[in-house]
Amino acid sequence: MTRRDPEPATDDQPQHPTWLTEGCPPWCTGEHGQLDHPDDRYHRSEASIVPGVVAARPVAPVTASLQGLDLVAWLGRYVGESVEWVVIEPIDRREPRLVVTAETARSLVQHLTAQLTRLQPR
């Protein structure tokens, strides 16, 4: 998804939605419209697509339910709020979904890196 240039303003249609009272962060590629539902009024980054292998269901052993799944990761922040979050979810559905604050994501990356350094190189 890439940001389009805003449509030229007309007498009956402002260039930006009236509810958009702030500039978009540099990473926002979402399109904002006057008729956006209040729950959909957030900034969104372009998604990163990550092909992966995940456990499809909680069974033992975990390897019994591994399957290929394309994941997406993207940033978000509601208009008028300061909390930024990271979403990780399957590309073709909304569950399972992990949504964490940007601070938690940074900490998670550090801890995952530490865990992965324990593995033997292949």
Domain boundaries in the chain?
38-46+74-117
Query: Could you identify the residue written with the tokens 């390897």?
Result: 63
The Cα–Cα gap between 56 and 39 comes to: 29
pLDDT tens digit string along 92-117? Answer: 987 889 999 999 999 999 999 999 99
Provide mean pLDDT across the span 43-69: 92
By residue count, the chain amounts to: 122
pLDDT band of 11, cuts 50, 70, 90: low
Taking Cα atoms as reference points, which of 71, 47, 67 lies closest to residue 55? 67
Whether the per-residue pLDDT at 74 is higher than 70: the answer is yes
Per the model's pLDDT, the better-predicted residue between 36 and 14 turns out to be 36
pLDDT averaged over every residue in the chain: 88
Q: Report whether the peptide linkage leading into residue 6 is cis, meaning its omega lies within 30 degrees of zero.
A: no
Residue 18, token pair as written in the block: 């009236």
Residue 50's pLDDT is 96
